[in-house]
Chain A
């Protein structure tokens, strides 16, 4: 594969509030056994990419723990493999302010790599994608930068799209709108860009000399009239996670068989860190309806429309409905939870009643005892 990958692990951290307060967005648990980064990383690996850099900014201990030496993704290699790129300090300057600065800090990694092309990606998009066909389309078009887009609806109910592009019949970008909130169906960027590695290096050096920080605003939006930027639409399904509400609904979307099959298997499996869990134990009298349940759980109570991560215990008489319960959380006897997100290692004590609402879930942060 003649393309390397760069993943930004901290983009949009602040938008998810408490659940990303102590971790990167990339290491946010998702779908019963995954972290968000697993999707983009597995897609890269399944597309034949074997040289991947992960740019980190802050709170990346959980991410490092998750990625390890990259073995689970077959990225523990002698040649290439997985590289975690912590912030690169320059003099008194604090950590980077935007993608351009972050990338500038990895210049040596980019320069020492051999692949002709580079793929930049965020971790907030859940999809199952084969990057090979996008690379081919990029090469065929002769564009300087290609950006992958997806047709998305802007409801106008307070949500705005980060980056909307409009292009001509050939797919060449003719307009770029940021934080666009006018209702309608638009082609939205999904944070994935393909370009030549040498082109990126030159771009970064130039951006550095002008003190540019924001890749989307100062390169894509400011330079599209002078650069050949091509739009590559993706026809598959994506789950975009840029708010807590979207995080909740993306997890719930996995209860739909067609979405699950597409996200988990379309172009290859999604890999994640192994935990040596036992199979899940469903005891006499438990009742499970329409739920996604990972290994290592013990279920005595009732679970409905929920996603349970590895090692969760649901006590006798406990009821969960429309909940997300992360690793090793214990729901004690007769507790009742509705529209609640429990982070890792939470304990909900006996007979507690927690009622969230469809549009406003209750969040119990990591390690809390309720």
Chain B
């Protein structure tokens, strides 16, 4: 068949991301702006393209309008292919059956017909809420070499944080014998990165069986992986080293943005061989005025800066007026910071206006675990009356 693809990727992008608070009130988590000009999903999509995977199904559910529009025909990532390319897979109604995606496994199950069109050997399951650069080819080569039914990418996390993750307990050769979701007393520090490769024939069988289980949560971590383990299937862990961050909370999203300012950070955005692509905007270059002070920051095009910016990431089309100070903060696209306003340790949503003299965020906060203030999109913050 003409359309046959050895590998395809399925990207789970339907989550609400409720821990991001007002940032995800109107948009799905993968569509949240990051790093000045990106959206969180750009990393996974660019990883696919840079790894030679040109067929990606994006499963959306929660508030998909902005995400769908952002992905469009996939042209910014070179995914506007005649054979393959990016496909938005939204929940749909069927005869005598439920329609919403109920759990990660169910979302894939409901799209078996899509996957079958490409007759893949293996399917890469990804989630759209992590910041990392990974060449999936290395993972796939390992998967093939081990003749695995499933390979899970893992990253070593500090022991004290291991109980926040799904932990893999493995043999010395990487074969997984046990999977523990958020264990109280972790036996290993190999945390699942939410990146799985499955032999399609095997996954299909397990998805179909899982669908018949009424009590199942239809979740990869809770149901599919444990079922495969109990059947002695060949599950392997593949260790990734490099930058990886789950940006599921406002604190981690803020931290990941600040990491971009760290010259020693492993995540390089300007690496020509493994570029992160994004849908670009048509704004003019940024104007920096005579009185502006810029100190260790990242500023995207289309901005007009008259104030002071320190240790911050400024997205496109922001205006920072004279006397205003923005420090240790992330401004999402289109934010306006009025005269003499002060922003400290905050994430300011898209097209929000911080009026003249207003103050946002803590004045003093400890640098290791600062308290981050989040203002949602299209808000107007006025000055506190004297």
User: A residues engaging B (CB < 8 A)?
Assistant: 31-33, 71, 255, 257, 260, 264-265, 269-272, 274, 276, 278-286, 288-296, 307-308
- With contacts A257-B287, A290-B288, A292-B287 taken as known, whether A279 is within 8 angstroms of B36 at the C-beta atoms is yes
Given contacts A280-B298, A282-B297, contact A33 B288 (CB under 8 A): no
Contact between B298 and A289, CB atoms less than 8 A apart: no
A291 to chain B, nearest CB (A): 5
Q: Would you give the shortest CB distance from A261 to chain B, in whole angstroms?
A: 9
Within 8 Å CB of B37, what residues of A?
A: 278-279, 295
Q: Is the CB of A279 within 8 A of B35?
A: yes
Given contacts A276-B277, A296-B270, contact A31 B285 (CB under 8 A): yes
Q: Is B269 an interface residue (CB 8 A)?
A: yes
**Is the beta-carbon distance between A260 and B287 smaller than 8 angstroms?**
yes
- Please give the distance in Å from B94's CB to the nearest CB on chain A: 34
Partner of A280, one of B280, B282, B299, B304: B299
Task: Tell me, yes or no, whether B286 is within 8 Å of chain A by CB.
Answer: yes
Please give me the residue from chain B that is nearest to A310 by CB atom.
B285
B284 and A264 within 8 A (CB)? yes
Alpha-carbon distance between A32 and B302 when the two chains are bound, in angstroms? 11
Interchain nearest-CB distance for B38 vs A (Å)? 9
Complex alpha-carbon distance, A282 and B314, angstroms: 11
Number of A-B pairs whose CB atoms are under 8 Å? 97
The 10 nearest A-B residue pairs measured at CB: A32-B285, A279-B36, A279-B300, A282-B294, A294-B285, A288-B288, A278-B269, A264-B284, A274-B280, A284-B296
Some 8 contacts from A to B, beta carbons below 8 A apart, are A31-B284, A278-B36, A278-B270, A282-B298, A284-B295, A284-B296, A290-B289, A307-B285
B313 within 8 A of partner (CB):
yes
Q: Which of B275, B280, B295, B304 contacts A282 (CB 8 A)?
A: B295
Label chain A's interface by main secondary structure. loop
Task: Add 7 more A-B contacts to A265-B284, A288-B292 (CB < 8 A).
Answer: A274-B76, A279-B36, A284-B295, A289-B292, A291-B288, A293-B285, A307-B285
- The answer on a CB contact under 8 Å between B298 and A269 is no
Task: Map CB proximity to A onto B258-295 as digits: 1 under 8 Å, 0 otherwise.
Answer: 00000000000110000111101011111111101011
Residues of A within 8 A of B277 (CB): 276
Q: B313-342: which have CB < 8 Å to A?
A: 313-315
User: Is the Cβ of A269 less than 8 Å from the Cβ of B282?
Assistant: yes
Bound-state CA distance A31–B286 (Å) is 11
**Closest residue on chain A to residue B304 by CB atoms:** A257
Structural contact, A276 and B280, CB atoms closer than 8 A: yes
Q: Is B75 close to A, CB under 8 A?
A: yes
Bound together, the chains give a CA A32 to CA B285 distance in angstroms of: 6
**B77 (CB) vs chain A CBs: closest residue:** A276
Contact A270 B282, beta carbon cutoff 8 Å: yes
Q: Closest B-chain residue to A281, C-beta based?
A: B298
The distance in angstroms between the C-alpha atoms of A55 and B275, with both chains bound, is 34
B284's contact among A270, A280, A283, A308, by CB below 8 Å, is which?
A: A270
Nearest residue (CB) in B for A284 is B296
Residues of B at the A interface (CB closer than 8 Å) are 35-37, 75-76, 269-270, 275-278, 280, 282-290, 292, 294-301, 304, 309, 313-315
In angstroms, Cα B286 to Cα A33, docked, is: 10
CB closest residue in chain B, given A307: B285
Q: How far is the CA of A278 from the CA of B284 in the complex (A)?
A: 15
Q: Return the contact of B301 from the options A283, A285, A295 (Cβ within 8 A).
A: A295
CB distance from A152 to the nearest CB of B (A): 25
Assuming A278-B269, A279-B35, is B294 touching A286 (CB within 8 A)? Answer: yes
The docked-state distance in angstroms from the alpha carbon of A264 to that of B76 is: 23
Chain B residues in 8 Å Cβ range of A283: 296
**CA of A278 to CA of B277, assembled, Å:** 9
Report yes or no: B287 in contact with A255, Cβ–Cβ below 8 A: yes
Let me know if B282 and A292 touch, CB within 8 A: no
**Residue in A33, A265, A276, A281 whose CB lies within 8 Å of B285:** A33
Q: A187–B277 Cα gap in the complex (Å)?
A: 47
The docked-state distance in angstroms from the alpha carbon of A293 to that of B297 is: 14
Given contacts A276-B275, A289-B290, contact A282 B299 (CB under 8 A): yes
Query: Which residues of B lie under 8 Å from residue A308 when comparing CB positions?
Result: 285
Contacts of A292 in B (CB 8 A): 284-288
A63 to B289, CA, bound (A): 32
Q: Give A33's nearest chain B residue, CB to CB.
A: B285
Least Cβ–Cβ distance between B275 and chain A, in angstroms: 6
User: A295 and B278: CB pair below 8 A?
Assistant: no
Q: Which of the listed residues A255, A288, A292 has the most CB atoms from chain B within 10 Å of its own CB?
A: A288
> Shortest CB–CB separation between residue A142 and chain B, in angstroms?
37
Q: How far is the CA of A284 from the CA of B296 in the complex (A)?
A: 5
**In the complex, what residue of chain A is closest to B315 when comparing beta carbons?**
A279
Tell me which of B284, B295, B296, B309 contacts A32 (CB under 8 A). B284
Smallest Cβ-Cβ distance to A296: which chain B residue: B270
Cβ contacts under 8 Å, B304 to chain A? 257
A279 to B280, CA, bound (A): 11
Residues of B close to A276: CB separation below 8 A:
76, 275-278, 280
Nearest CB of A to B62, in Å: 28
* A60 CB → nearest B CB, Å: 24
Residues of chain B within 8 A of A307, CB atoms compared:
285
A264 CA / B75 CA spacing, docked (Å): 25
Q: Is the CB of A271 within 8 A of B296?
A: no
Specify which chain A residues have a CB less than 8 angstroms from the CB of B290 in the assembled complex.
289-290
Separation in Å of the A35 CB from the closest CB of chain B?
Answer: 14
A272 and B304 alpha carbons, distance in the complex (Å): 20
B75 touches A71 (CB 8 A): yes
